[in-house]
Amino acid sequence: MAKRRYLIFTGGVFLLLAAAGCITSAPAADVVEVAAIADFRPDWRPLFRGVDLAAGRLLGDAPQAAYALRVDLHEPGIEFLTTPSNADKPLDTDGRTTSRFLEEFKCQAAVNASPFSPIHEGDGAPKDVLGLSVSRGDAYSGPNDVYGALIITEDNRARIAKPPVDAAGAYNAVGGFGLLLEEGTDAGSNGERHPRTVAGVSKNGRYLYLLVIDGRQGNYSTGATTSETAQWLLRLGAWSGLNLDGGGSTSMVVADESGKAQLVNRPIHNNIPGLERVNANHLGIYATPLK
């Protein structure tokens, strides 16, 4: 039987504690611990109306810590925002951490999204988004001929587009790398393990899944292959899936009651656990409070 532990977020570093007697006002979820990804069954916890959080941990010699948001695309009040263009400035966008993106644009949740260049320039530095990027109808970066994209229409219909990407109807869109799931079939491979950020869509199109898997952190989480990542997506309920920018870029944040960003995962930029990378592109979610 899967073990469950209480997940408490505190300043971007989480503590795994027994559920009994733990009280916190920060985002929390039950971490479902499994010996095999196939055993994982998400225990969704509502964060906002139409936005739920689940967490899983694969035990063993190559542990994996996975965190997922499930967005109900039918829920009134759900909206999205891709990082806007920096207009007449150089390249495509100004760099931000995922936390700063959430706070600047007052989202309720956000993840990093597209690959980009240059990687090591700091906060506010111009960034070139590699692949498709559309922010509320402004298509400021074109599709990549080889990789896929997540397309979201103005009325919140989401799809994973295969290359060559047809961006028709895109109101918000982000490009990524290869597809992980195609019609419920694992399209990944058993290569190297890395931190991952991925997007998935359910078969009926109702749910968008945003998943991060931490990596490069020893006994906590080694990262996942693309095939292992596809298996996590399947257990969440996805039918199609896309690998977004991962590695040191992987980050997921949610807003607390004051609108401040709280890290859900443990990023690792410059090999420093808990340090966020300045990224070029993000996908933000707007949602209304539970009460």
pLDDT single digits (tens) 131-187: 999 999 999 999 999 999 999 999 999 999 999 999 999 999 999 999 999 999 999
Instruction: Work out the pLDDT band at 291, boundaries 50, 70, 90.
Output: confident
CB 195 within 8 A of CB 215: yes
> Model confidence over 223-278: pLDDT tens digits?
999 999 999 999 999 999 999 999 999 999 999 999 999 999 999 999 999 999 99
Domain boundaries, the chain: 69-286
The DSSP 8-state label assigned to residue 79 in this structure reads E
Contact 96, 83 (CB under 8 A): yes
Mean pLDDT of 195-212: 98
Chain Cα centroid distance, residue 256: 18
Helix residue ranges, H only, the chain: 98-105, 226-236
8 Å CB contact between 80 and 115: no
Looking at residue 223, its pLDDT comes to 98
* Contact predicate 116/281, CB 8 Å: yes
Could you tell me which of 94, 13, 9, 93 has the C-alpha nearest to residue 268?
13
Segment (H or E) for 5? strand 3-10
The span from the CA of 139 to the CA of 165, in Å, is: 13
Mean pLDDT calculated for residue range 111-127? 94
Say how many Å lie between the first and final Cα of the chain, rounded. Answer: 34
Given pLDDT bands bounded at 50, 70 and 90, which one contains residue 3?
low
Residues 43-84: tens digit of each pLDDT: 999 999 999 999 999 999 999 999 999 999 999 999 999 999
Does the structure show a pLDDT above 60 at 11?
no
Read off the pLDDT band of 2 (50, 70, 90).
Answer: low
H-only helix segments in 31-97:
none
Mean pLDDT on 86-92 = 96
Please compute the mean of the pLDDT values over residues 98-111 and round it to a whole number: 98
pLDDT surpasses 60 at 29: yes
Q: Is the pLDDT of residue 122 over 60?
A: yes
pTM to 2 decimal places: 0.92
Residue 13's pLDDT band (cuts 50, 70, 90): very low
Question: How, if at all, do strands 13-17 and 45-48 pair?
Answer: unpaired
Total count of residues recorded for the chain: 291
Closest residue by Cα to residue 81 from 289, 288, 287, 286: 286
Give the residue, 19 or 88, on which the prediction is more confident: 88
Whether the predicted pLDDT of 21 surpasses 50 = no
Task: Give me Rg for the CA atoms of the chain.
Answer: 17
What gap in Å lies between CA 66 and CA 231, rounded to an integer? Answer: 12
**Per-residue pLDDT, 8:** 37
